[in-house]
Amino acid sequence: MAMWQNRPDTIKGIPAVAEFDELQNRLGYVFREPSLLTLAHTHPSVAHEQGAPMQTNQRLEFLGDAVLQLVLTRELYEKFPSVGEGPLTKARAKLVNRRTLAEHARKLGLGEHLILSRGEDIHGGRERPSALADTFEALLGAVFLDGGFEAAREFILREFHAAFGGLNVIPILENPKGELQELLQAVSSEPLQYRVVSATGPDHDRIFECTVHHAGAELARGQGKSKKEAESEAALAALEKIRTEKETTNR
């Protein structure tokens, strides 16, 4: 249960602004309109639970996604002046996949401050990758509205500094499932197998978890809002694992 749920100054389940002071320190950004930060952390399940119209972070998520795409697109455009549209699009997709955004949210501790329905909280909503990724995008939208484009750009580049620092070549991001199959066909003709191991969450936020297997061994797992997305994430995780192991072996 979140810290704010037991506070006497909590009104209708919304935390006091002071609860976000520590978070703002981690973000390195102080909101002029703290209500935007609160809204960025308001999960849609709250509206479903109350059964009445209320603002949630979905509109901010929509805005934040656009801001993130623009900032990263510009950086890739300037960093790789000789690279065409196709590879740039794939590189951007690698940077903004849901798994990556959820990891950014975890590092910032956004889940701890999520405003959820009781049922969503009980069923692990604070750690749900989709909820974390959506909240991270909503946070970007909130920073944009509060401080303007430059504030959002500085925040995004600070968050993605490690990625751009190591992005010396455009990453290959074709169909992860196809890439994985092609990579493993060099050592075995046995096909890959994908299995759905769980489907959790409410109907409005269903999350599937899939595993990918080869030669009887589980290679990796992935999660997504559909079976297809979960399988792709599993394949991507397997590719990254195999490539990391190769790099380690070759050192």
Domain boundaries, given as residue ranges, for the chain: 3-165, 176-250
Given this model, what pLDDT does residue 182 score?
79
Output the CATH code of domain 176-250: 3.30.160.20
- Domain formed by 3-165, architecture: Orthogonal Bundle (1.10)
Catalytic residue set = 65, 137
Mind giving me the DSSP string for the chain?
--GGGG-TT-BTTBPPGGGGHHHHHHHT---SSHHHHHHHTB-HHHHHHHTS----THHHHHHHHHHHHHHHHHHHHHH-TT--HHHHHHHHHHHT-HHHHHHHHHHHTGGGG-B--HHHHHTTGGG-HHHHHHHHHHHHHHHHHHH-HHHHHHHHHHHTHHHHHT-SSPPP-S-HHHHHHHHHHTT--PPPEEEEEEEES-GGG-EEEEEEEETTEEEEEEEESSHHHHHHHHHHHHHHHHHHHHHHHH-
Indicate if the pLDDT at residue 110 is higher than 80: yes
Half-sphere exposure of 24 (CA within 13 A, CB side): 17
Indicate if the pLDDT at residue 186 is higher than 70: yes
Q: Do domains 3-165 and 176-250 have the same CATH topology?
A: no
47/202 Cα distance (integer angstroms): 13
Given this model, what pLDDT does residue 150 score?
97
211/217 Cα distance (integer angstroms): 10
Mind listing the pLDDT tens digit for each residue in 112-170? Answer: 999 888 888 888 878 888 899 999 999 999 999 999 999 999 999 999 887 766 565 55
b/e 174-186 (16+ beta carbons within 10 angstroms → b): eebbebbeeebee
